[in-house]
Amino acid sequence: MTIKCTECPLRDAECFIPFTDDELRFMLRFKVGELVIEPKTTILLEGSSAPKLYTVLDGMGLRYKILPDGRRQVLNFIYPGDFIGLQAGLLGEMKHSADATTKMTLCVFERRDLGSLFKSNADRAYDITWLAAVEEHFLGSSISTIGQRDARARMAWALVRIYYRSRSVGFADGQRVTFPFKQQDLADTLGLSLVHTNKTLAKFRAAGLVSWVDGVLTYTNLAELETIAMTEASEHLEPRPLM
């Protein structure tokens, strides 16, 4: 049942840098299989020394940390094309957890092959580092948002980002965007309480900016959201390598 990389559904998505045939042949040596997991299951657990790395082929999820007092901080939403497990691959153990929110299909690699990948293909090694740098950039933006902005701006920032991120992987249909998460997930992303998250969303809805019904976000005034978020619209579209 395994899809060959040659037929990988992601290769054609415009947001990814096209695989060369060389790269394709190369990656085939590292791919060890595919994994389909059910909604609400954990892919990688903080502290574990996961022996596998994954590229998300389909589905969505969350990266998060659980604090000693039980509070949860969501670090990032996981979209198709994301590469997960790199921390365990490099540092020996995961520094955060990753859950699948929807049903998810993963392309599986062996962690122990990471070293030989670096040795045998400098371009792919460079791509991995590139992905790490992009992640670092995103986390920096998150820190700025959470540390410096109020609830309104945080929410707008997240919604704008969700829009562009979704669109780049084909989850947007005009103004309508698939978003299979709960308000609690968004609250834990923004460092806000669930109640205040809900009230902030309600104000946005009343102001005709977005609505969120049944896992679908509808953006009725994206420009205004971008103004509130104080983002430069640029940041969102760069094509990325696919592992």
Partner DNA sequence: CGAGTATTTGATGCAGTTCAACGCTCGTGG
Partner DNA sequence: CCACGAGCGTTGAACTGCATCAAATACTCG
Of 2 and 130, nearer to its own copies (C-beta) is 130
128 sits in the region (left: phi over 0; alpha: psi -120 to 50; else beta) called alpha
**230 near its own copies, judged by CB under 8 A:** yes
Return d(Cα 107, Cα 52) in angstroms, integer: 10
Q: Which amino acid is at 224?
A: E
Strand 210-213 relative to strand 216-219: parallel, antiparallel, unpaired? antiparallel
CB 219 within 8 A of CB 177: yes
Orientation angle between helical segments 194-206 and 183-190, nearest 10 degrees? 100
Of 137 and 199, nearer to DNA (C-beta) is 199
Q: Select from 28, 139, 223, 237 the one that contacts its own copies (CB under 8 A).
A: 139
Catalog residues that contact DNA under the rule CB under 7 A. 150-152, 182-184, 191-199, 201-202, 212
Return d(Cα 82, Cα 120) in angstroms, integer: 22
**Tokens matching residue 100:** 């699948």
Closest CA to 124 of 230, 25, 6, 228: 25
Partner from DNA, its own copies, none contacting 130, C-beta within 5 to 8 A by type: its own copies
**13 near its own copies, judged by CB under 8 A:** no
Radius of gyration of the chain (CA): 18
Partner from its own copies, DNA, none contacting 151, C-beta within 5 to 8 A by type: DNA
Q: Select from 25, 29, 40, 71 the one that contacts its own copies (CB under 8 A).
A: 71
Distances (CA, A) of 32 to 5, 51, 108, 218: 11, 12, 6, 39
Q: Which of the ranges 22-30, 100-108, 183-191, 195-203 carries the binding residues for its own copies, by CB under 8 A?
A: 183-191
**137 near its own copies, judged by CB under 8 A:** yes
> x/- binding map, residues 92-111, to its own copies, per CB under 8 A?
---xx---------------
**Tokens matching residue 82:** 């994301």
**49 near its own copies, judged by CB under 8 A:** no
**143 near its own copies, judged by CB under 8 A:** yes
Footprint on this chain of its own copies (rule: CB under 8 A): 65, 67-69, 71-73, 75, 86-87, 90-91, 95-96, 115, 118-119, 122-123, 125-126, 128-130, 132-137, 139-144, 146-149, 188, 190-191, 230
